[in-house]
Amino acid sequence: MRSVAVVIQPGFAPFEFGLACEAFGLDRSDDGIPNFDFRIVAPDPGVVPSNIGFSVNVELGLDAAADVDILVLAPIPREQWGAVDPRVIESVRAAHARGAWLLSVCSGSFVIAASGVLDGKRGTTHWRYADVMARMYPAIEVDPDVLYVQSGNIITSAGTAAGLDACLHLLRQELGSELTNRIARRMVVAPQRDGGQAQFIASPIPVDASLSLAPVTEWMLQNLDAELSIDRLAARAHMSPRTFARRFKADLGATPAAWLARQRLLHAQRLLEETDLGLDRIAAECGFGSAAVLRQNFARTMGLTPTAYRARFSCAGSSGMVPAAAEAVPA
């Protein structure tokens, strides 16, 4: 069983803290999903006040996080950004040194940043705080325009719901897409929002329902093996290519090419997990054209070759926690 610890400190944000509890703390074994050894820890065990007038009683100190595989940093109040508890910083550094996952939600990224382990890497936080983080930690490449960023074994996320996207992103790498999709279905949320999506989408609900892109995106999903050019997609949407591209980005938070590439990759993941099709066949069905192109795109995004991914996740739905034996692609 793999273990997860969530670090909360005085002034924590309950919703973002709850996301980690929802993602990692619930028993879903009745749905074939392995449980995590889930722990809530604090620098000073006992009553920890939230930022909205209630407190929680935390029984475990930071020593209980000394051996976990995933360390989650809940948001901290603004007054703590420049004075992060040194005990928490040491826990973050120790977790990173032993190769554990580090995941922050919203301003929890300031805790990871204070530890120095994100120096020279890319990260994110809530768009309102991105400028502050960039000024405080110039060695970090702060991207204010994405939902979450993975840099090695460190995942930083934007505010509120983006934290759930980051949790699902991590779970997908640990459990595979099928089990993560089951978790998402239980949560009644989208199974995957790509980290590169904008933090805010200009038009979440189209003003005119008749102009909805849903029929086009549904057709794209049914024809991933086809040549899907902007001109062809725009024609189906009865728009000019420029209008279609602008509208797509506004409604879905990603360019048509980026969205399509992600859907093709997700389909490849499913085929690798659920079938014994060869790489050439999978590449053709997903629209990558050749096994070589599939390998290149898959390894760049997932950090694993398709073959290694299949070895790790092809039986993910039939047993407990999948073994972490597959080798990652070198950085």
Residues 275 and 216 in one domain: no
Which residue type sits at 97? A
Of the candidates 12, 4, 113, the residue with the CA atom closest to the CA atom of residue 56: 12
pLDDT at 327 exceeding the cut of 60: no
DSSP character for 60?
Answer: B
Query: What pLDDT, on a 0 to 100 scale, did the predictor assign at position 196?
Result: 54
- Binned at pLDDT 50, 70 and 90, residue 193 comes out as low
pLDDT at 323 exceeding the cut of 70: no
Which helix (H) or strand (E) segment is 7 a member of?
strand 3-7
* CA terminus-to-terminus distance, the chain: 28
* Cα angle: 142, vertex 145, 146; to 5 degrees: 90
pLDDT, mean of residues 247-261: 88
* CB 89 within 8 Å of CB 115: yes
Q: Is 43 exposed, middle or buried (0-12, 13-18, 19+ CB in 10 A)?
A: middle
288: three-class secondary structure by DSSP: coil
Residues 14 and 151 in one domain: yes
**307 occurs within a structural domain:** yes
Tell me phi and psi for residue 252, to 5 degrees.
Answer: -110, -5
* Alpha carbon distance 148, 159 (integer Å): 9
Q: What is the domain range of residue 223?
A: 209-252
**100 occurs within a structural domain:** yes
pLDDT at 199 exceeding the cut of 80: no
pLDDT, mean of residues 163-174: 90
**165 occurs within a structural domain:** yes
Query: What pLDDT, on a 0 to 100 scale, did the predictor assign at position 321?
Result: 37
Residues 32 and 64 in one domain: yes
* Cα angle: 146, vertex 89, 174; to 5 degrees: 50
- Binned at pLDDT 50, 70 and 90, residue 315 comes out as low
* Alpha carbon distance 89, 128 (integer Å): 23
pLDDT at 329 exceeding the cut of 70: no
**107 occurs within a structural domain:** yes
* CB 235 within 8 Å of CB 220: no
Query: What pLDDT, on a 0 to 100 scale, did the predictor assign at position 311?
Result: 86
Q: Could you tell me which residues come within 8 angstroms of residue 271 by beta carbon, excluding any fewer than 6 positions away?
A: 277, 282, 285, 286
CATH number at residue 297: 1.10.10.60
pLDDT, mean of residues 158-176: 89
Query: What pLDDT, on a 0 to 100 scale, did the predictor assign at position 273?
Result: 86
Query: What pLDDT, on a 0 to 100 scale, did the predictor assign at position 159?
Result: 84
Considering only 50-54, 83-87, 152-156, 297-301, which range has the smallest mean pLDDT? 297-301
Beta-sheet pairing, 55-58 with 46-49: antiparallel
Query: What pLDDT, on a 0 to 100 scale, did the predictor assign at position 200?
Result: 43
pLDDT at 14 exceeding the cut of 90: yes
Residues 41 and 108 in one domain: yes
Residues 173 and 32 in one domain: yes
Residues 119 and 248 in one domain: no
Q: Which two tokens stand for residue 320?
A: 């407990």
Tell me phi and psi for residue 141, to 5 degrees.
Answer: -85, 100
Residues 38 and 159 in one domain: yes
308: three-class secondary structure by DSSP: helix
Query: What pLDDT, on a 0 to 100 scale, did the predictor assign at position 20?
Result: 94
pLDDT, mean of residues 131-152: 93
pLDDT, mean of residues 138-143: 96
Residues 166 and 248 in one domain: no
Of the candidates 135, 140, 136, 162, the residue with the CA atom closest to the CA atom of residue 151: 140
pLDDT at 130 exceeding the cut of 80: yes
Dihedral angle over CA of 65, 71, 76, 80, nearest 10: 70
Q: How many domains does the chain have?
A: 3
Query: What pLDDT, on a 0 to 100 scale, did the predictor assign at position 177?
Result: 82
- Binned at pLDDT 50, 70 and 90, residue 192 comes out as low
Query: What pLDDT, on a 0 to 100 scale, did the predictor assign at position 312?
Result: 79
Q: What is the pLDDT of residues 38-71, one digit of tens each?
A: 999 999 999 999 999 999 999 999 999 999 999 9
- Binned at pLDDT 50, 70 and 90, residue 317 comes out as very low
Q: Which two tokens stand for residue 145?
A: 């325009």
Residues 301 and 155 in one domain: no
pLDDT at 99 exceeding the cut of 60: yes
**195 occurs within a structural domain:** no
Query: What pLDDT, on a 0 to 100 scale, did the predictor assign at position 207?
Result: 38
Beta-sheet pairing, 101-104 with 70-73: parallel
**232 occurs within a structural domain:** yes
Q: Which two tokens stand for residue 235?
A: 């024609």
Residues above pLDDT 90, as percent of the chain: 67
pLDDT, mean of residues 99-108: 96
Residues 248 and 290 in one domain: no
**9 occurs within a structural domain:** yes
Query: What pLDDT, on a 0 to 100 scale, did the predictor assign at position 51?
Result: 95
Residues 243 and 268 in one domain: no
Which helix (H) or strand (E) segment is 231 a member of?
helix 230-237
- Binned at pLDDT 50, 70 and 90, residue 191 comes out as low
**304 vs 225, residue with greater confidence:** 225
* pTM of the full structure: 0.71
